[in-house]
Amino acid sequence: MALEHAILISLSERAASGLELTRRFDKSIGFFWSATHQQIYRVLARMEKDGWITSTVVAQQGRPDKKVYVFSADGHAALAQWLAEPTPNSPLRSELALKMRGASNADHREAVLDVVRTNLADHQTRLGFYEQLCKQDYPAPDSLSGRELDQYLVLRGGIRMEQGWIEWLTEYLAAHESRTTSKDTA
Amino acid sequence: MALEHAILISLSERAASGLELTRRFDKSIGFFWSATHQQIYRVLARMEKDGWITSTVVAQQGRPDKKVYVFSADGHAALAQWLAEPTPNSPLRSELALKMRGASNADHREAVLDVVRTNLADHQTRLGFYEQLCKQDYPAPDSLSGRELDQYLVLRGGIRMEQGWIEWLTEYLAAHESRTTSKDTA
DNA sequence: CGACGCATGTAACCTGTTACATGATTGG
DNA sequence: CCAATCATGTAACAGGTTACATGCGTCG
């Protein structure tokens, strides 16, 4: 039940409508907690029913009305309680690791190597994106504090994770390429 | 739909009953793809219905009968196809990162720091466990090949991921401890 | 008018989690 | 006989995904 709390955190930074929240989940918060608009609308309805948030219909120029949500005292309390709760470390869940394990059982070696290469390239792209974001938005990390410091540190985590993946997949490919079969040299 | 394929991979290494598969998912394969026995039985039933696997009831001494599954030609084909498919990189999904982002909005700083410290300790424990496993089971990595090599490389991934987490959380704590408020020195 | 973007939803489905149910056999 | 272990399930629910539905307003 973390989506409720993700929404509370986002609303605590600034009030928003369902669609605006969806857009935020495509960006910063979405880098470590994604959600579709269907999920968000569903949870917003439940949260309002539970009294965590309240909505106001806001008319717009040249656009349909939107429902802007703000969070209530109850929502604030719920968030505070959740923040203090221990969070179990989510175990690694990787289809790619599964495929690595499956590759040894038959002649699927090359197919899996290709999959790994594709994913490695994707991780490298994402790392580059994160690093650029980091350099642009936080040129002087040592002087950060408050919300900006936390946002920076979370981004650092994304960078470290991507680096970990890249190192792992690189090691995987190197190990298999150094044991190349004769087929490859033909 | 990766659980089916995880089971196929496990069955391809050795035929097994539902409970035996469950035990394997508590160990090696479970390090990157966990599953409960309820899930496994449900999926085994579907896979048998689809003709991916076949079962034989095996009588045992001093124990109830068990249903041992082996995978069929169809199962082999399904696995081969899946292995060659691209696998989207599963995005990071971290409640802990969410809490880091939430900590800046009110006076929840200390509570979240405690949660982070707990999780850091847990990652350190798991890293130690993985490293011991690695040293024990694969003392000479350079000479590995085939299935053992793949198992080793997957374990290396687990180690790298844990290291990444430890570095990240350490950086997080250091950043916040170096900006300690007067409260802490009182 | 028709296509597109904004904005809010519904419905069906799949996966995974939690709790419970059943029966056999061994050991105390 | 009772508890524990082995072994196989059922049922109910929560969360996430995918596809579809609806209505308004602007722009071409």
From residue A129, alpha-carbon distances to A96, A109, A155, B72 in Å are: 22, 31, 11, 44
Which residues does A14 contact at the CB level (< 8 Å), separation at least 6? none
**B160 alpha carbon, distance to own chain's centre:** 13
Residue B179's pLDDT is 82
Average pLDDT over residues A165-177: 97
**Res. B184: pLDDT tops 70:** no
Does residue A92 contact residue B130 with C-beta atoms inside 8 Å?
A: no
Residue of A nearest to B94 (CA): A32
Average pLDDT over residues A148-171: 97
Q: Spell out a b/e string for A143-158, using b for 16 or more CB atoms within 10 Å of the CB, else e.
A: ebeeeebbbbbbbbbb
Residue B181's pLDDT is 59
Report which of B52, B74, B57 is spatially closest to residue B7, judged by C-alpha positions. B52
Q: Categorize the per-residue pLDDT at B79 as very low, low, confident or very high, splitting at 50, 70 and 90.
A: very high
| Listed range (A14-23, A177-186, B24-33, B145-154) with the worst mean pLDDT | A177-186
Residue A185's pLDDT is 45
**Res. A186: pLDDT tops 50:** no
* Nucleotide with C1' nearest the B43 CA: C15
- Is B100's CB within 8 Å of A150's CB? yes
Q: Categorize the per-residue pLDDT at B37 as very low, low, confident or very high, splitting at 50, 70 and 90.
A: very high
Helix pair A109-137, A146-177: axis angle to 10 deg? 150
| Listed range (A32-41, A96-105, B56-65, B106-115) with the worst mean pLDDT | B56-65
A83 touches chain B (CB under 8 A): yes
| Listed range (B47-56, B57-66, B137-146) with the worst mean pLDDT | B57-66
Average pLDDT over residues A64-73: 92
Residue A135's pLDDT is 97
**Structure-model confidence comparison of residues B98 and A183, the more confident one:** B98
**Res. A181: pLDDT tops 70:** no
Direct distance between the N- and C-terminal alpha carbons of chain A, in angstroms, rounded to an integer: 54
Q: Categorize the per-residue pLDDT at A30 as very low, low, confident or very high, splitting at 50, 70 and 90.
A: very high
User: Looking at the whole model, is its pTM more than 0.95?
Assistant: no
**Res. A184: pLDDT tops 70:** no
Element of type H or E holding A69: strand A63-71
A33 touches chain B (CB under 8 A): yes
B90 touches chain A (CB under 8 A): yes
Which own/partner pairs from B158-161 qualify as long-range (CB within 8 Å, at least 24 positions apart)? Answer: B158/A92, B158/B31, B158/B32, B158/B130, B159/B127, B159/B130, B159/B131, B159/B134, B160/A164, B160/A167, B160/A168, B160/A171, B161/A92, B161/A161, B161/A164, B161/A168
Residue A105's pLDDT is 74
* Nucleotide with C1' nearest the B21 CA: D7
Instruction: Concatenate the DSSP letters of all residues of B133-149 into one string.
Output: HHHHH-S-GGG--HHHH
Protein residue closest via CA to C1' of C17 = B36
Name every chain A residue with its beta carbon within 8 A of the beta carbon of B12: 102, 105-106
Report which of A80, A6, A43, A53 is spatially closest to residue B94, judged by C-alpha positions. A6
Option in B32, B97, B157 nearest A93 (CB): B32
Average pLDDT over residues A88-95: 92
Q: Categorize the per-residue pLDDT at B28 as very low, low, confident or very high, splitting at 50, 70 and 90.
A: confident
Local structure of residue B29 (DSSP, 8 states): G
CA distance A115 to B125: 31
Average pLDDT over residues B22-48: 94
Q: Categorize the per-residue pLDDT at A106 as very low, low, confident or very high, splitting at 50, 70 and 90.
A: low
> What is the least distance, in Å, from the CA of B81 to any CA of chain A?
9
Report which of A40, A36, A27 is spatially closest to residue B101, judged by C-alpha positions. A27
Residue B164's pLDDT is 98
- Is B9's CB within 8 Å of A179's CB? no
Protein residue closest via CA to C1' of D15 = A1
- Give the pairing type, strands B53-60 and A63-71: unpaired
CA distance A154 to A148: 10
CA distance A128 to B16: 44
To the nearest whole number, what is the mean pLDDT of chain B? 92
CA distance B18 to B8: 12
- Is B118's CB within 8 Å of A86's CB? yes
> What is the least distance, in Å, from the CA of B65 to any CA of chain A?
29
